[in-house]
Amino acid sequence: MYEKELKAIKKANRFRNREIFSESLLDFASNDYLGLSENRMLLKRAYEKVSSYKYHSPKASMLVNGYHPIHNEFESYISKLCGFEESLVVGSGYLANIALIESLVRKDDILVLDSEFHASGIMASKLTKGKVSYFKHNNPFELDNLLKTLKYKRAIVCVEGVYSMEGDLVKPKIFEVVDRYKALLIVDEAHSSGTVGKNFLGVFDFYDIKPQKNHIKMATLGKAMGSYGAYIQGSSEIIEYLLNRAKSIIYTTAPSVFDIALAYEGYKYIQENKKSFLEKRDEIFRLVEKSFVSRQESLILKIEYGDNQKVLDLKELALREGFLIGAIRPPTVKKAIVRIILRLNSDMENFRKLFSLF
Ligand SMILES: Cc1ncc(COP(=O)(O)O)c(C=O)c1O
């Protein structure tokens, strides 16, 4: 039934498949930035925590009786830690972005997205009744111009804390522009939460920005936190509104209790060990600077080649040497890149060996 479509995908060289990689490969490709997905102690702690309750699964939507004490405890912990009024656990980052955009952007409002915003935001933009506009990647001047010239009741701006392919951080000037126009700002911290800032809490922490009523943060738990799921943070009004209007929060089973417990243990572990994580991050950044003469802002290292075959060859070469890395090509990125995740649990010697291949 879909033969033609599949043929077209193959013809365009865009056919993809899942693969199970050998556990013996050194992983420099996944989003497990801190190596928490290998940490057995966190697994055990989460298991013990969940086991102390009668129910280990949510059983229903949060608004029926799927809201578990572990969800609630984690939300309170994370609100205090990040300085937001309230937090709300969500099944995944994809669902969270759909929830935010679909419910917050009403008729007469405008949604303004960074041109490199995640696919979930693009998908959600098709569900709103508001107008949709894009600004040039990480360009506060263009954003300023749009907010100045367009007509709207409310403006909702979407950016990422760290952009997943380029590895660059959202510019602090974007916060200034948004605040000046009293727009709502949604910061997707999928790749910045757990990786940047002196407390590993993301870009608010990195720039020392105290969350305001117009700031909304979305963070995922399936990357640096070594679990699965997501949460949204904002003012009590925004969280209350989402609970009453966001379909992908209301009409879905509450997030997995175990995954939230695991992420909760992950957060506590990072806070307990942030000094050694910081030292390792600095050491890796120094090595990147020495090896590639480039300053590193995040744990995503991008090496641009602009040649599709070259990046595929490099990926193969790395694989033969036992390293798993990313070879990202257009249309995902404008020019072909090698993408290396600087996972903090990797040995410095392995970083040296890997970097010597480029
Ligand atoms: C920037 C960004 N936002 C949102 C998501 C979706 O999050 P999740 O995997 O939890 O659905 C991802 C990737 O997975 C992402 O990279």
Q: What is the pLDDT of residues 9-39, one digit of tens each?
A: 888 877 888 999 999 999 999 999 999 999 9
Asked whether residue 229 falls in the same domain as residue 260, the answer is yes
Pocket test for ligand 1, best of 32, 101, 118, 163 (most atoms within 8 A of CB): 118
Asked whether residue 124 falls in the same domain as residue 33, the answer is no
Whole-number Å distance between alpha carbons of 174 and 184:
12
Asked whether residue 258 falls in the same domain as residue 347, the answer is no
Q: How far is the CA of 54 from the centre of ligand 1 (A)?
A: 31
Whole-number Å distance between alpha carbons of 206 and 223:
18
Domain termination residue (choose one: 243, 267, 291) = 267
Domain termination residue (choose one: 267, 285, 301) = 267
Before 330, cis peptide (omega within 30)? no
Looking from the CA of residue 120, the nearest atom of ligand 1 is 4
- Spell out the residues 6+ positions from residue 265 whose beta carbon is closer than 8 angstroms to its own: 42, 45, 46, 49
pLDDT at 262: 98
How far, in Å, are 62, 94, 272, 301 from residue 206 at the CA level? 32, 24, 18, 18
What residues are paired with 160 via a beta bridge?
188
User: Residue 114: CB within 6 Å of ligand 1?
Assistant: no
Q: Which domain covers residue 77, as residue numbers?
A: 54-267
Asked whether residue 260 falls in the same domain as residue 347, the answer is no
- Domain assignment present for residue 45? The answer is no
**Using CA positions, which residue lies closest to atom 5 of ligand 1?**
93
Asked whether residue 108 falls in the same domain as residue 247, the answer is yes
pLDDT at 144: 98
pLDDT at 13: 76
- Domain assignment present for residue 48? The answer is no
* pLDDT above 90 as % of the chain: 94
User: Residue 118: CB within 6 Å of ligand 1?
Assistant: yes
Asked whether residue 214 falls in the same domain as residue 76, the answer is yes
Check: pTM over 0.95? Answer yes or no. yes
Asked whether residue 11 falls in the same domain as residue 81, the answer is no
- Domain assignment present for residue 161? The answer is yes
Which CATH number goes with the domain that contains 25?
A: 3.90.1150.10
User: Residue 230: CB within 6 Å of ligand 1?
Assistant: yes
- Domain assignment present for residue 47? The answer is no
**Mean pLDDT of residues grouped by 10 in the chain (358 residues)?**
94 86 96 98 98 97 97 98 98 98 97 97 96 98 98 98 95 98 98 98 98 98 98 98 98 98 98 97 96 91 93 95 94 91 97 96
Asked whether residue 286 falls in the same domain as residue 314, the answer is yes
Asked whether residue 285 falls in the same domain as residue 257, the answer is no
Q: How far is the CA of 287 from the centre of ligand 1 (A)?
A: 28
Which CATH number goes with the domain that contains 63?
A: 3.40.640.10
Asked whether residue 254 falls in the same domain as residue 330, the answer is no
- Domain assignment present for residue 21? The answer is yes
Whole-number Å distance between alpha carbons of 270 and 222:
15
User: Residue 190: CB within 6 Å of ligand 1?
Assistant: yes
Asked whether residue 242 falls in the same domain as residue 207, the answer is yes
- Domain assignment present for residue 71? The answer is yes
- Domain assignment present for residue 256? The answer is yes
Domain count, the chain: 2
pLDDT at 69: 98
User: Residue 193: CB within 6 Å of ligand 1?
Assistant: no
User: Residue 164: CB within 6 Å of ligand 1?
Assistant: yes
pLDDT at 15: 85
Domain termination residue (choose one: 267, 289, 312) = 267
User: Residue 167: CB within 6 Å of ligand 1?
Assistant: no
Nearest C-alpha neighbor of 172 from the set 159, 154, 188: 159
Asked whether residue 217 falls in the same domain as residue 343, the answer is no
Residues in the chain: 358
Q: How far is the CA of 230 from the centre of ligand 1 (A)?
A: 9
Looking from the CA of residue 230, the nearest atom of ligand 1 is 10
- Spell out the residues 6+ positions from residue 250 whose beta carbon is closer than 8 angstroms to its own: 61, 62, 63, 243, 244
**Using CA positions, which residue lies closest to atom 9 of ligand 1?**
93
- Domain assignment present for residue 49? The answer is no
138-156, pLDDT tens digit by residue? 999 999 999 999 999 999 9
Q: How far is the CA of 228 from the centre of ligand 1 (A)?
A: 10
For 272, phi then psi, to 5°, come to: -70, -30
